[in-house]
Chain A
Amino acid sequence: MTTTTRGRPGRSILLTSGLALALATVAVPFYWLAVGATHSSQELFSSPPPLLPGSHLADNLATLQETAHFGRVVLNSLGIAALYTLLAGTVCTLAGYGFATHRFRGREALFGLLMLGLVVPAQITLVPLFRMMAELHWLGTYQAVITPNLALPFGIFLMRQSMAALPKELLDSGRMDGCGELRLFWRVALPPMRPALAALAIFLFLYQWNDFVWPLIVLRDELTFTIPVALASLQGLDETDYGAILAGTSIAAVPMAIVFLLLQRHFVSGLLAGAVKE
């Protein structure tokens, strides 16, 4: 690492500062989002635009609560994303384990079938799914948001890739000790999978937290909206209060960024384990 750096300190500084400049450009929308959340709509649309934090954050949050029941909306998003992460995480982990560690007839074909879901565009199922939900009388309910995407192909793929790294000897010796299959899964296979499980959990949570089209289609009542749906509905109003919308957007973005920062080591390595191996 040091051998080549030593000879060319100038180029090292050039490269690092060049990338730092690029990163600063990438960070502008983040900074501006945080600043925008603290200004009123009039301040935002004045010249020059505000560059430093203002004093309207509390007002903006109050407006959000008044016009969009935003407190409730945040709770909806949290609840839906948490429940989805738990359920989809279970489904994907079980399937990934089954596909990675067991041999059975039709394994490759069934896995291939599931991976079809990665390629077929989601739009193709939109209309029939909507009508299924209508026939089940699920329109406007949370189960309509959560259920259709539980068997997420990417999640299954990720878990199969990670579980394939389990040493076969570990499972075999567990079986020799008379471990039942479920116990084997829970006690032997899962503990070393913590990083992969963390990556899966973040991925699933993010996916549901940010999902827009499907909740937009099935949710009806403002009180049941998730954050993206509520934000988009605010943007559609005649007199759009952008200060309030940016405050809401911050609420949508900042917690995710923090969670991601805390767990990113698992997330990036877990995702890459899935993405690069094949």
Chain B
Amino acid sequence: MTLAKPLPAAARPRRRGRTAPYLFVLPALLLFAAFKLYPIGWSFLLSLHRTTGGTETFVGLDNYARLIDDPLLWTALRNTLVILAVQVPLMLALATGLAVALDSRLLKGRPLFRLGFFLPMVTGLVAYGIVFSVLLNKDYGLVNWLLGHVGADPVPWLTDGTWARISLGLALTWHYTGYNAVILLARLQTVPRELYDAAAVDGAGALTAFRHVTLPGLRPALLLTTVLSTIGTLQLFDEPTVLTGGGPDNATLTLGMYLYRNAFTYFDFGYASAVAYALTLLIGLLGLLQFRLLGGKQ
């Protein structure tokens, strides 16, 4: 951009150049203001009110105080954080391994693999939730049938709290690992081969090369995938809704589901908005933390 020669003043399209750019971005800005910014502000106002029978009364920070004493909210928060702390690192480690394998010169048929691993991303959340719920059925599901062949007892994939969380994690991992791997792979391909060759010359083994060449090279893409996965997990709604309905006994109830329930099952819009703001705050804080930890010098 900076390489372009400055035009002589007379040729510079002065007036036209002033309004035109605004006209290009105007539709997006207007729509964004109307359907994003305005609701964000309104949501805050709602969170200061209590909705009862269609009327709203101002209650100050009552809804936020209620958050603290609400055991279900803490259950939802704990469930969400457990998924975040266990599933996201495992998935990203798996995606990193997959990206390294896909990047390897030893691999044959890379485009086919890249495509195949990306494909789950294309299926909708509801669609794959349904497929997994049938696959993981305790008595008749394919997975337990296969496990039975190696002598394992049927696993209560969806009917036991801990197993339900594991099932949810498996479904999420199936859906998003390939997508993350493709992002990481694209970054990996920009790491100069000479760095690996130099490391090999210095006598570095595969593990040392991974630690000192691959990981530093991947850092920006790892940050991106970590932040995206964190935001996605904290907002988790579709998968548990279809797969477990939040059960059994709220073991897979997420913050996103709890918010939805308050708003559209109990019509408690004020409280739902307070949950939404708490969730946003949490996402903001975790995002900042990740930028600090992974962002490096940039």
Within 8 A of A (CB), among B92-131: 98, 101-102, 104-109, 113-120, 122-128, 130-131
CB distance from A71 to the nearest CB of B (A): 18
| Residues of B close to A268: CB separation below 8 A | 114, 118, 182
- Could you give, for residues 3-32 of chain A, a 1 whenever the CB lies within 8 Å of some chain B CB and a 0 otherwise? 011001001100110111011001111101
Evaluate contact between B235 and A15: CB separation under 8 angstroms.
no
* Complex Cα–Cα for A36 and B137 (A): 13
Evaluate contact between B24 and A232: CB separation under 8 angstroms.
no
* Complex Cα–Cα for A32 and B238 (A): 21
A90, A99, A181: the one contacting B16 at CB < 8 Å is A181
* Complex Cα–Cα for A117 and B38 (A): 12
Q: Contacts A129-B35, A260-B122 hold; do A176 and B11 have CB atoms under 8 A apart?
A: yes
Within 8 A of B (CB), among A225-278: 227-228, 231-232, 235, 242, 245-246, 249, 252-253, 256-257, 260-261, 264, 268, 272, 275-276, 278
Evaluate contact between B140 and A252: CB separation under 8 angstroms.
no
| Residues of A close to B107: CB separation below 8 A | 12, 15-16, 19
Evaluate contact between B140 and A47: CB separation under 8 angstroms.
yes
* Complex Cα–Cα for A22 and B139 (A): 26
* Complex Cα–Cα for A219 and B256 (A): 20
A175 within 8 A of B: yes
| Residues of B close to A256: CB separation below 8 A | 122-124
B21, B38, B231: the one contacting A128 at CB < 8 Å is B38
> Chain A interface mostly helix, strand, loop or mixed?
helix
Evaluate contact between A210 and B27: CB separation under 8 angstroms.
no
Which one of A27, A124, A164, A261 has the greatest number of beta carbons of chain B within 10 Å?
A124
- Could you give, for residues 29-58 of chain B, a 1 whenever the CB lies within 8 Å of some chain A CB and a 0 otherwise? 101100111111011001000000000000
* Complex Cα–Cα for A110 and B37 (A): 12
Evaluate contact between A23 and B113: CB separation under 8 angstroms.
yes
Evaluate contact between A97 and B24: CB separation under 8 angstroms.
yes
Evaluate contact between A102 and B21: CB separation under 8 angstroms.
yes
* Complex Cα–Cα for A242 and B130 (A): 9
- Could you give, for residues 13-25 of chain B, a 1 whenever the CB lies within 8 Å of some chain A CB and a 0 otherwise? 1001110111111
- Looking across the interface, which residue of chain A has its beta carbon closest to that of B37? A113
Q: Contacts A125-B43, A245-B130, A276-B186 hold; do A119 and B284 have CB atoms under 8 A apart?
A: yes
| Residues of B close to A195: CB separation below 8 A | none
CB distance from B11 to the nearest CB of A (A): 6
A67 within 8 A of B: no
Q: Contacts A128-B39, A151-B35, A232-B126 hold; do A16 and B117 have CB atoms under 8 A apart?
A: no
Evaluate contact between B125 and A175: CB separation under 8 angstroms.
no
B29, B122, B238, B276: the one contacting A127 at CB < 8 Å is B276
7 shortest A-B CB distances, which residue pairs? A98-B24, A210-B124, A102-B21, A95-B28, A128-B39, A125-B39, A151-B31
Chain A contact residues, CB within 8 Å of chain B: 1, 4-5, 8, 11-12, 15-16, 18-20, 22-23, 26-30, 32-33, 36, 44-49, 51, 90-92, 94-95, 97-99, 102-104, 107, 110, 113-114, 117, 119-132, 147-151, 153, 156, 164, 168-169, 172, 175-176, 180-181, 185, 206, 209-210, 212-213, 217, 227-228, 231-232, 235, 242, 245-246, 249, 252-253, 256-257, 260-261, 264, 268, 272, 275-276, 278
A-B contact pairs, 7 of them (CB 8 A): A5-B106, A23-B117, A26-B116, A104-B22, A122-B235, A181-B24, A212-B124
Chain B contact residues, CB within 8 Å of chain A: 1, 4, 7, 11, 13, 16-18, 20-25, 27-29, 31-32, 35-40, 42-43, 46, 98, 101-102, 104-109, 113-120, 122-128, 130-135, 137, 139-142, 145, 174, 178, 182-183, 186-187, 190, 220-221, 224, 231, 234-235, 237-238, 241-242, 256, 259-260, 263-264, 269, 272-273, 276-277, 279-280, 283-284, 287
